[in-house]
């Protein structure tokens, strides 16, 4: 399994001959190394409906005939735009041919702002546990620290946890460091920082708060293999 970070909260997973994107915010993302028109994708996993996470989902899904997996309300909204969507919800898991997806809770909001400046409610936000090839990846989405992260860590052998550290909208570095302790992940990668001035953070300081050897800073376009 190959994991590539593409800035903000964009994570690409390559497994079993499939390319999976989590939260493909590309157009308008000054932190990414990607161009939306060049992206090839089989599956898109979404944590919630905010524009900086849904991003280019509709265009990518329609152009690549990709499956989109998202919380029920968001999946329904996207399906009205012609997207092939599989709805799920918090606590539910589904075994797909490309891997197992389970949605966890996240403490945040979830809505989509359309071109008419209308705010569309898109259900509850979530985190994602993705398992394939005997490995488990946790993408926390946008979230505050919450104590059930201990339970997520106890019940899952997490190989890599992608945790937001930007503060203001999500956990800051201190809370994310406690989340990493509770999750007991073998590797922790910071996400959702430095894209906008209000979420500027020093990832080196975050990594220094973690148990030695588990923190891994990825620049946009850098990968790890499991």
pLDDT in tens, 18-51: 999 999 999 999 999 999 999 999 999 999 999 9
Q: Domains of the chain: which residue ranges?
A: 2-216
pLDDT in tens, 170-221: 999 999 999 999 999 999 999 999 999 999 999 999 999 999 999 999 999 9
Q: Which pLDDT belongs to residue 71? A: 98
Task: Enter the CATH code of domain 2-216.
Answer: 3.60.15.10
With a pLDDT cut of 90, the percent of the chain lying above it is: 98
Q: Which pLDDT belongs to residue 114? A: 85
Q: Residue by residue, what is the 3-state secondary structure of the chain?
A: CEEEECCCCCEEEEECCEEEEECCCCCCCCCCCCCHHHCCCCEEECCCCCHHHHCCHHHHHHHHCCEEEEEHHHHHHHHCCCCEEEEECCCCEEEECCEEEEEEECCCCCEEECCCCCEEECCCCEEEEEEECCEEEEECCCCCCCCCHHHHHHHCCCCEEEEECCCCCCCCHHHHHHHHHHHCCCEEEEECCCCCHHHCCCHHHHHHCCCCCCECCCCCCCEEEC
Q: What is the mean pLDDT of residues 9-23?
A: 98
């Amino acid at each position: 399994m190959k994991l590539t970070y593409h800035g903000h909260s964009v994570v690409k997973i390559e497994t079993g001959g499939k390319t999976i994107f989590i939260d493909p915010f590309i157009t308008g993302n000054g932190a990414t190394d990607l161009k939306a028109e060049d992206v090839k994708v089989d599956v898109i996993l979404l944590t919630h409906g905010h524009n900086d996470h849904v991003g280019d989902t509709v265009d990518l899904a329609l152009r690549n005939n990709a499956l989109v997996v998202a919380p029920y309300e968001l999946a329904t909204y996207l399906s009205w735009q012609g997207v092939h969507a599989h709805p799920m919800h918090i606590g539910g898991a589904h075994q797909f041919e490309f891997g197992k997806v389970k949605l966890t809770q996240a403490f945040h909001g979830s809505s989509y702002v359309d071109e008419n400046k209308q705010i569309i409610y898109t259900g509850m936000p979530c985190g994602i546990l993705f398992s394939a090839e005997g490995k488990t990846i946790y993408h926390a989405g946008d979230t505050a620290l919450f104590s059930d992260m201990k339970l997520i860590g106890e019940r899952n052998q997490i190989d890599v946890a992608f945790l937001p550290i930007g503060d203001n909208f999500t956990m800051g570095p201190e809370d994310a460091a406690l989340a990493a302790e509770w999750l007991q992940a073998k590797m922790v990668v910071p996400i959702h920082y430095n894209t906008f001035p209000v979420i500027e953070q020093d990832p080196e300081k975050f990594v220094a708060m973690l148990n030695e050897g588990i923190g891994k800073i990825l620049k946009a376009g850098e990968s790890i293999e499991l």
